[in-house]
Amino acid sequence: MPIIEPEVTIDIADKAEAEDLLRAEISKQLDALPDGQQVMLKLTLPEKPNQYKSLVDHPGVMRVVALSGGYDRTEANRRLCENAGIIASFSRALTQGLSAQQSDEDFDKTLSETIDSIFDASCAG
């Protein structure tokens, strides 16, 4: 399964416009895929809710997963909730709050709470 990961930097001034261009170009390429061919897309959480809904619904897309892109977990979860059909593929947001200095109990508790919050945000969209 090809995985396409065009990350948009979260702090650029024209992020919403960049995402419009990205969606249009990805759509063009998806429309050119042979019948039955699918890809997975890993995309930075967008500025506009459901910006990538047409990609989520495209027959050439197996799954769209969201990159936290550098947003903290709270902001990443908020944005994820706004995007139907997209699930999390967070790494930076997943590890937020975890430390080698934590006790095993605190580490496990923080990780469990983090996973639950990301799962809930994935299901809310």
The residues annotated with a catalytic role in the active site are 5, 42
Token pair in block for residue 32: 């050119």
What residues does 67 pair with on adjacent strands? Answer: 44
Q: How many Cβ atoms sit within 10 Å of the Cβ of residue 54? A: 14
The full DSSP string for 44-75 is EPPSSTTTTHHHHT-TTEEEEEEE-TT--HHH
